[in-house]
Amino acid sequence: MDQIWQDSIDRLNARRENVLAAGGAERIAKQHASGKLTARERMEALFDDGTFVELNDQITSRCSDFGMDKKKRMGDGVVTGYGYIHGRVAFASSQDFTVGGGSLGEAQAMKICKAMDKAMEMKAPFISINDSGGARIEEGIDSLTGYADIFYRNTIASGVIPQISVIMGPCAGGACYSPAITDFIFMTDYSQMYITGPAVVKSVTGEVITSADLGGAAVHSSTSGVAHFVYPDDLSCLNGVRQLLGYLPQSNEDFSLEVPGTAVDNSANLSSIVPADSKKAYDVRNVINTIVDENSFFEVQEAFARNIIIGFGRIDGETIGIIANQALFMAGSLEINASDKASRFIRFCDSFNIPLLTLVDVPAFLPGSQQEHGGIIRHGAKLLYAYSEATVPKVGLIMRKAYGGAYIAMNSKGTGADVVYAWPIAEIAVMGGSGAVSIIGKKAIEAAEDPAAKREELLAEYNDKFMNPYIAAEHGYVDEVILPEETRTKIAEAFNMLKSKDRTLPYKKHGNIPL
Amino acid sequence: MDEQLIVAMAVACIAEENGVDTKHVVVRSFKEVQKSSLEQYIADKGISYHKYQLGE
C-alpha cells in the first residue's frame, strides 16, 4: 500500500473514531450513571441485532458564531440511519445528549430530515428518539427553521408511514411538536415534555412546579394524554417500540404481518365475565383477551381516559384495532378525553389498513356543564367523524347497553359499520328505561291513582319493548344476535369475509374533522 | 480459547456449511469481535435483558 492510501485511511479512521467518541468518555459515563443509554446504544437496542447502519455520520455544523467553531463535533448531536425490526427495514434518528446536550441546529435538522425523506421513499416506519435540551441558541433562526423542516415532514408523512417518537430525556419548547404530530409517543419514567419549563412558568405565572409534575411521563400518560406508552428505562421502552411495530404495516400501501399465535376459543367464559345486570361493572380487558389470540392484546394509552380501552390485538394471526367501552370507569360513558382517544386511534388504524373491532357497552355521553363547556359536542363529533370516514373493515359487538347518541357514535350501522353483532342481553334504545318512562309516561304517571304502580307498569312495558336487541335486529341495525360462546368465531368469520372490502370515499383534498 | 483454536473451529464450520474440504478454505484475515458498547453496558450493570422478538 502506498503512502497516499495509508494516509487517507488513517485520516478516515481518525474521523470515524472522532464520531464514535461522541461527547467524550466523561459525558458518556454521566449518561450511563443517570441510567440512560447513549444515542448509538439506543439504536442497537431498537434494531434487530447487528443491522443498524449509520448515515451521514460526519455531518457538522457550519455555524461559527459564539465560539461554535471550537465546540462543533462531527455528527452534530444526532445519530441517524436505518436497520431492520422483525426483519423489515425502518429508519430512525437518535439525539445524542452527550454532544452539546443534543441541541438542534441547522445540520442536525438536515440530518434528521434526510433520514425522514429516505423513510418516505422506502415506505418504511420512522422512529425519532428525543433527548435534547432544545434549539441550539447559537444557531438562531436556522435552529427554528430546522424544527419547522421536521414538523413539515412529520405532517406530510402522517398517514403514509408509521411515525413513532421516543422521549428519553428532556424535550422542551417547539421540540415537543414533532412528537405531537407523530402517531405514537413513548416516554421513559425520567423523561419530560413541556412547551415551557418550570423556570419560565414561575417567572411568567408565579406557579412553582417540578419538571415531573409539569411534564413528566406520569402526567402525560394519565392527565394530558400526550404520551401513549410509558416504560421505566431505555431498554424496556425500545422493546415496547419493537413490540408495537410488530402490529403495524410498513406504510399505508402495506398490510400488517400475519403472526401465527395460539388461538384458544374461550368465548364460553364471556357470559361469566360480563354481568347481565347492566349496573354491574366488569373489566372489558377480560372480554378483549377472550376474543383475541392468546396474549396478543397490546393496550395503547392505558392510563388516559380509562373509560374507553384502545389497543391492538390479533385474530387468527392478523392485526386488528380494538375500541371498547370500559364499564369499570364512569360506567363506560363517553366524554371529551375518551372521544379524542378513540377517534385518533380509529384514524390511525384506518390510515394503515388495520380493521376495527368495537365492543359496545355505553350508557351515554357524560352529562354536565364541565363537559358541555369543554366542548363535548366538538369532541364527540370526532368519534362520529372517525368511524364514518374509516373505510377499513368495521365489526362491532353490542354487549350490554347502547343508548342514545353514544350508541350512534360507537360504530353504529348508520355510520358505516360492516357487521354488527349483539348479545341477547343487549339493550339498544334512546335511553335507559327509568329516564325514558319519566319523559314519555310523565302525564300518565301524574294522572294515575297510584303513580308508583303506573310508573312500574310503564317501565315494564318499556323494558320489554326496547331493552333488548330484537327491534334493532328486526330493523337491520344489528346483523345477528349471537350467543356469547359464538363470539370469537363470528367475529373471526366477519373479518375473514371483509378481507376484500374495497370502499373508497369521494375525492376531496381532505376532510374537515372538528378539531 | 486461543486464537488458533477459534480460527480452526470457524474454518470447520465454513467448510461444513459449504460442503467443501477444510483444505480448500483459506483464512485471509482474522479479527476478534469486541463486545458492543450496549453489550458491555448490560454486562457491567448486570441487567437482565432480552430483546423483544415478534411472536413472543
Coil, strand or helix at A400: strand
> Which secondary-structure segment (H or E) carries A403?
strand A394-403
Q: What is the domain extent for residue B30?
A: 3-45
Q: Is B47 on the interface with A (CB under 8 A)?
A: yes
Q: Is A394 on the interface with B (CB under 8 A)?
A: no
Confidence label for A286 from pLDDT (cuts 50, 70 and 90): very high
Confidence label for A466 from pLDDT (cuts 50, 70 and 90): confident
**A264 is written with which cell numbers?**
384458544
**Chain A partners within 8 Å of B37 (Cβ):** 38, 40-41, 44
Residue among A229, A137, A245 nearest A179 (CA): A229
Q: Is residue B55 part of a domain?
A: no
Q: What is the 3-state secondary structure (H, E, C) of chain B?
A: CCHHHHHHHHHHHHHHHHCCCHHHCCCCCCCCCCCCHHHHHHHHHCCCCCCCCCCC
Contacts of A150 (CB under 8 A, 6+ apart): A109, A112, A113, A116, A178
Angle among Cα A409, A414, A416 to the nearest 5 degrees reads 90
* Averaged pLDDT for residues A409-427: 97
Neighbours of A414 (CB within 10 A): 12
Task: Dump pLDDT digits (tens) for A290-344.
Answer: 999 999 999 999 999 999 999 999 999 999 999 999 999 999 999 999 999 999 9
Nearest-by-CA chain B residue for A295: B56
Sign of CA dihedral A313, A314, A318, A323: negative
Contacts of B17 (CB under 8 A, 6+ apart): none
Q: Is residue B21 part of a domain?
A: yes
DSSP-derived secondary structure letter, A484: G
Residue among A166, A307, A288 nearest A227 (CA): A166
Q: Is B33 on the interface with A (CB under 8 A)?
A: no
Q: Is residue B51 part of a domain?
A: no
**A77 is written with which cell numbers?**
448531536
Buried b (16+ CB within 10 A) or exposed e, A428-465: bbebbbeebbeeebeeebeeeeeeeebbebbbeebbee
The residue to which cell 445524542 is assigned: A96
Active site residue A405: yes
Contact between A420 and A478 under an 8 Å Cβ cutoff? The reply is: yes
Sequence-ordered strand ranges (E) for A216-374: 229-231, 298-300, 308-315, 318-325, 356-362
Subunit contact A44:B52, Cβ cutoff 8 A? no
Q: Which of A406, A426, A436, A492 is catalytic?
A: A406
Give the β-pairing of A480-481 and A427-429: unpaired
Report the distance separating Cα A338 and Cα B3, nearest Å: 62
Q: Which of A159, A261, A317, A405 is catalytic?
A: A405
Contacts of A427 (CB under 8 A, 6+ apart): A278, A400, A401, A402, A403, A466, A467, A468, A469
Instruction: Measure B35 CA to nearest chain A CA, in Å.
Output: 12
Confidence label for A33 from pLDDT (cuts 50, 70 and 90): very high
Give the pLDDT score at A270.
Answer: 97
Report the distance separating Cα A409 and Cα A364, nearest Å: 10
**C-alpha A118: how far from chain center:** 24
Task: Dump pLDDT digits (tens) for B3-46.
Answer: 788 888 989 998 998 888 888 888 888 777 788 999 999 999 99
* Averaged pLDDT for residues A26-55: 95
Confidence label for A358 from pLDDT (cuts 50, 70 and 90): very high
Which one is the CATH code of A267-431+468-500: 3.10.20.30, 3.40.50.460, 3.90.226.10, 1.20.1050.10?
3.90.226.10
**A451 is written with which cell numbers?**
303513580
User: Distances from the Cα of A13 to the Cαs of A160, A483, A495, in angstroms?
Assistant: 39, 69, 55
User: What does the domain layout of chain A look like in residue ranges?
Assistant: 3-245, 267-431+468-500, 433-466
Active site residue A174: yes
**Chain B partners within 8 Å of A49 (Cβ):** 51
Q: Is residue B28 part of a domain?
A: yes
Active site residue A429: no
Report the distance separating Cα A271 and Cα A485, nearest Å: 8
**Count of the separate structural domains present in chain B:** 1
Query: Which comes out higher in pLDDT, residue A75 or A422?
Result: A422
Which phi and psi (to 5°) does residue A241 adopt?
Answer: -65, -45
Residue A160 pLDDT exceeds 80: yes
Least confident of A24-33, A62-71, A83-92, A307-316: A62-71
Residue A226 pLDDT exceeds 80: yes
Report the distance separating Cα A168 and Cα A373, nearest Å: 36
**A401 is written with which cell numbers?**
347497553
The CATH code of domain A3-245 reads 3.90.226.10
Q: Is residue B54 part of a domain?
A: no
Nearest-by-CA chain A residue for B33: A50
Q: Is A36 on the interface with B (CB under 8 A)?
A: no
Nearest-by-CA chain B residue for A259: B55
Per the prediction, chain A carries an average pLDDT of: 94
Give the pLDDT score at B1.
Answer: 67
Q: Provide, rounded to the nearest whole percent, the portion of chain A with pLDDT above 90.
A: 84
User: Distances from the Cα of A406 to the Cαs of A360, A365, A420, in angstroms?
Assistant: 9, 6, 15
Subunit contact B54:A257, Cβ cutoff 8 A? yes
- Report field, pTM of the whole predicted structure over 0.90: yes
DSSP-derived secondary structure letter, A321: E
Report the distance separating Cα B1 and Cα A81, nearest Å: 36
Q: Is residue B23 part of a domain?
A: yes
Task: Dump pLDDT digits (tens) for A477-492.
Answer: 999 999 999 999 999 9
| β-bridge mates for residue A164, sequence order | A127, A184
Contact between A159 and A123 under an 8 Å Cβ cutoff? The reply is: no
Residue A353 pLDDT exceeds 70: yes
Q: Is B1 on the interface with A (CB under 8 A)?
A: no
Residue A266 pLDDT exceeds 80: yes
**A357 is written with which cell numbers?**
373491532
Same fold, A3-245 and A267-431+468-500: yes
Contact between A170 and A142 under an 8 Å Cβ cutoff? The reply is: no
Sign of CA dihedral A10, A15, A18, A19: negative
Subunit contact B38:A32, Cβ cutoff 8 A? no
Q: Is B41 on the interface with A (CB under 8 A)?
A: yes
Report the distance separating Cα A130 and Cα A118, nearest Å: 19
Report the distance separating Cα A287 and Cα A290, nearest Å: 5
**A260 is written with which cell numbers?**
401465527
